[in-house]
Each structure stands twice: as C-alpha cells, then as structure tokens.
Amino acid sequence: MSDPRPPRILISDELDPAAIEVFRRAGFEPEVKTGMKEDELCQAIRGVDALVVRSATKVTRRVLEAADALRVVGRAGIGVDNVDLEAATERGVVVMNTPRGNATTTAELAIALLLALARHIPRADRLVRSGKWKAKGLVGTEVFGKTLGVIGLGRIGKLVAERGRGIGMKVVAYDPYLAGEGMASPMAGVELLELDALLTRADFLSVHVPLNDSTKNLLSWEQFARVKPGARLIQAARGGVVDEEAVLDALTTGKLAGAAFDVLVEEPPSKDHPLLARDDVIVTPHLGASSEEAQLRVALDIAEQIANFLKNGVAENAVNAPTLPAEAMGEMGPYLLLAEKLGSYLAQRTQGQIRKVELTVGGEIARHAEHLKLAFLVGVLRHSHDKSVNFVNAPALARERGILVLESREERPDFRGGELSVRATEKAGGKAHTVAGTVFGREPRITAVDGLRLDLVPKGVLLVTRHKDQPGVLGQIGSILGRYQINIQRLELAPASDAGAAAHGYLTLSPEPGPPVLEALRSIPAIEELQLLRL
C-alpha cells in the first residue's frame, strides 16, 4: 500500500529562492532550516523524504541512521565529500549532485587568475592602496601567442582550453586517459601531449583533474624540475593535486614566475602559510563555483532533479544509485555497494589500464544486472576521476577509456542471496585479475580473489601481499607495522596452492601506512609483491 502522506523536503543549507519555486510548481512545500548541528539534524531528519544540502551540512552515518523515511539526498554542487556515500547506499538512499552547474564559472575563474598572474594585478592593487603609484617591478607579460598547458581535459579543462584559444593562446593538453601513442586530440586546435612534453613547452599551466590516488601530488618536485623556466601555475582543481612545498621551492629558485591557488590542501590556510607571504602568489578562497549564475543553476538543477525523483522515480545524476524504485533500491543497495567495491578493487589491483571486463551475476539479483554493471563501472572510474562519476555518465566515460564490458548471468550461484564475479584484463600484456563477492546480511564481502577463497570486508585500507610460503613472514610484517603504530584490524591469508607457489595476505590496516612503512615491508626477503589499496 502506498504512503498517503505527501513527501517532505528539508533544505538545510542556503539555497537560491528560485529552487523553492520549482518545488512549489511541482506540488511540494519544502521546509527550510539552516545552520543545524549534527544533533539537531538527527532530530529534524525524521519523517523527511528528501534532504537538500550544499557544502555546509554534513550528512554523516549517524544522520542517515536517524532518517526513518529518507529516500534521496540532493547536493547543489558537484562535490559530495560531505555525504557518507557508503552509509547512504547501505540504507538505499539515493545521493545526487549537479555536475553541470559549476563548469563555466570554474573555467572563467582559471582564466581570470591566469590574466591576474600575467599582469600582477593583485600586487598592483595592494601597492596603490598603500599610497604607491608606480609601475616599477610590475612589468607583466602578454598572453597572446603564449602556450597554455591544460592538465585534464574533462568538462572544465575543455572550457579553459576553448577560452585560452579565444584570447590568442596556443593550447596544449595532457589527460592521463587520452594519452598514448597515436591518440588523437578530442578538440580542434588543441595538441595532445604527454605530461613531460607539456611541462617543457607551456608558459602557463592550468590544472583541472580530480583528486584521487593517481593524481595526488601530480605536480611535484620531479615535474617542476622539467617546467619551462618562468612558467606560471594556476591551481583551481582540488587541494592536493599540486604539491604546495614543491611550488614554493620552484618559486624560490625562479623555476616558476608565479602561481595562483583557488584551492589548498588546508582550507582555510593557517595565517603563517608560506604561500600567503609571497608577492608572486595569488590565493583566493575557493571561488570556483562562486558566481550568481552558477549558484542559481545548481539550485534549479537540484530542485528539478529531486522533484522528478519524488514524482517519477528518476534519479538523474545519482552518484550512488541507478534509477530504481524505492523498494528495489532498499533491497539492492548493499549489492550496488558490493559492485562498486569490486570495481574499485580491480581498478587499483590492475597495474595497467583495463581493456576488458567480464561481469557474471548469479541468483535473484541477476534481474538487476544492468544496474550492477553501472555500479561496477562507477567503482572503476572513481578511482581515476572523483565523485562526479555517476550512473548516468559512467557508460560514456568507460567508452572514452576504451573499456569493453561483457555481461553474463548464472542460474545457480554459490550463495543464496546472489553473487557477483568479475574478470578484468589489462590493456598492456593481457594480464587478468578476478574478484568475486556477495552480501552477508547487508554487509558486502569479497569471497574470492584470483581463484583464492576469502572472507574479506571491502572497507578501509587494505594491504595485499604475495610472499614465500614459509614460517615467520607474518611475524615480520606484524613487527614492522607495530613499530610504526599501525594496527591490523583484520587478516585473511591464502596459503600456497602448490609446492613452491606463493602465499597471499590481505591485511586491513589503521591508520594508513606511509611510504617509510611500505619501504620497510618491501625489504622483507620473503615479500615478492606488496600493494596498498583503499576501499
């Protein structure tokens, strides 16, 4: 029997009033209550069907557990770091964002920072305000005819490239998923290069990649040693993509002539942050999405998306769920999370880029095989993108990366509730990895890896080892981890299947071990392979 009461919508962050009118035209009367702490939100969320947030509200696991009627969380903006996606998926709550609204505004800010760097505009303004009217020391450079290096050709990067060409710049670009011999540029007039080649040619570097394991400190000491002397850097992506210490060194040595940051690792920065003391650095307070037009667009987008979801069940731009009825989402949530975890595992375990994926679904969940395939692709692609990957854009992104996905179904799974197994083949060399899993209760579990039977909770930091099957190896690993105050929360061992073969270890660790710990572990003579995964 359907619920006769009208759906309740709670808006917990400041939102453009136009969004409220969208809800009203759709027949809903939203409640607005901003500035709540976690305890207050846990009370207010009861009986609410849809929660609308920006970045201030933290939708924690505790909040989600207090929500007894919640079906959807809508984020007016692209980043969903303030929402516990895993907890939402476990509870069958759809989380959606608005990935299109901020692209133009962020791209225009990058160009504004580029021009401000080229002509020393912030420093000139400060001098005039201090009573000094002189151009000495403020001689800038024209951007016409200069080379703009765009790092990352996603939605924002492409807009920056277009605008760079519009002001007469030569544009070269690097994208890790478009790189490779013979790969054609996706944009007319934009030359596609490997990163090292771009660094040696660009007069201006503009960074537009997400923050993930593969892009953290993408530009660091080694890269700045290769840049064209006197180049200028614009960082308007995510804090952590650029190594700030390495930037300071490059500025001090004159390798870089200037840098502009709209994002930092620590936000807001401490008052004694060394970047703030330099005249050749511009720092703005994360203004990428801060324009009237962008704020209006994301407010309208999220209101329309939530209204459509509540009326028609369509989950547009869902970052954790496909379009499923609420009842099916409640049943399938843990399996969707399992599929995403298997994708994340393989994306990290596979050393090269994935060429082909063979997905097998067994049991009653096979009727939702298409949705599980989407969840798996989201897991694979989020490892190399960010939370902007969703169930709508994942197939297109997979096609862009040349990933072939094959799907099959089995009538007799090993586990009553159903199971998933995946085989992923690398592009280079054809090496394959397999992983399988199921759901116990509502908890996803990995049950097999490369033919080895396991009972592994895919959550947290996972250390994977391949080592000689001999006494004392685990003791040596534990001793080193203990020395660095790293706790082994869970341990799964797979002994060698044949004489002379290697054994495998899967250790869930807390906190995450740093490079010195991994280096010490690799020094153990019996260790043949060691990899750190984040699930």
Verify that 301 and 436 share a domain, yes or no: no
Angle between helices 292-312 and 17-25 (to 10 degrees): 20
pLDDT at 387: 46
Retrieve residue 350's tokens: 């596979």
Q: Read off the CATH number of the domain in which 378 is found.
A: 3.30.1330.90
pLDDT in tens, the chain (535 residues): 345 678 999 999 999 999 999 999 999 999 999 999 999 999 999 999 999 999 889 999 999 999 999 989 999 988 787 899 888 877 778 899 998 788 899 999 999 999 999 999 999 999 999 999 988 889 999 999 999 999 999 889 999 999 999 999 999 999 876 755 456 677 889 999 999 999 999 999 999 988 877 788 999 999 999 999 999 999 999 899 999 999 999 999 999 999 999 999 998 999 999 999 999 999 999 998 888 899 999 999 999 999 988 887 777 888 876 666 556 666 788 898 899 899 989 988 886 678 888 999 988 888 888 888 888 988 888 776 654 576 767 787 788 778 888 888 877 666 677 889 999 888 766 788 899 999 988 889 999 898 888 888 898 899 999 898 888 898 999 999 999 999 999 898 877 667 667 888 999 999 999 889 999 999 999 999 999 998 8
What's the N-to-C CA distance of the chain in angstroms? 38
CATH number of the domain enclosing 465:
3.30.70.260
Task: Mark residue 491 as left, alpha or beta (left: phi above 0; alpha: psi -120 to 50; beta: remaining).
Answer: beta
One domain, residues 297 and 273: no
> Tokens 């002001």 — which residue?
167
Both structure tokens of 315:
């989950």
Final residue belonging to a domain, choices 283, 303, 329: 283
Of 434, 457, 480, the residue that ends a domain is 457
CA distance 28 to 21: 9
The enclosing domain of 34 has a CATH number of 3.40.50.720
Q: Which of 383, 400, 463 is nearest to 216 (CA)?
A: 383
Residues 123 and 78 occupy one common structural domain: no
Range of the domain at 520: 460-535
233 in the same domain as 117? yes
Contact criterion met (CB below 8 Å) for 535 and 345: yes
- One domain for residues 259 and 299: no
Dmax over CA atoms of the chain, in Å, equals 82
Q: Say yes or no: 468 and 448 in one domain.
A: no
Q: What is the pLDDT of residue 326?
A: 58
Specify the amino acid at residue 178: L
Give the number of domains in the chain: 4
DSSP designation for 228: P
Both 265 and 388 in one domain: the answer is no
Six-digit token string for 243: 């190594």
In three-state secondary structure terms, 234 is strand
The answer to whether residues 154 and 255 belong to one domain is yes
396 within 8 A of 357, measured Cβ to Cβ: no
Same domain, 249 and 213: yes
Residues labelled catalytic: 238, 267, 286
Same domain, residue pair 268 and 298: no
Question: Closest by alpha carbon to 376, among 347, 418, 401, 339?
Answer: 339
Q: Are residues 261 and 145 in the same domain?
A: yes
* One-letter amino acid of 87: A
For residues 121 and 221, membership in a common domain is answered with yes
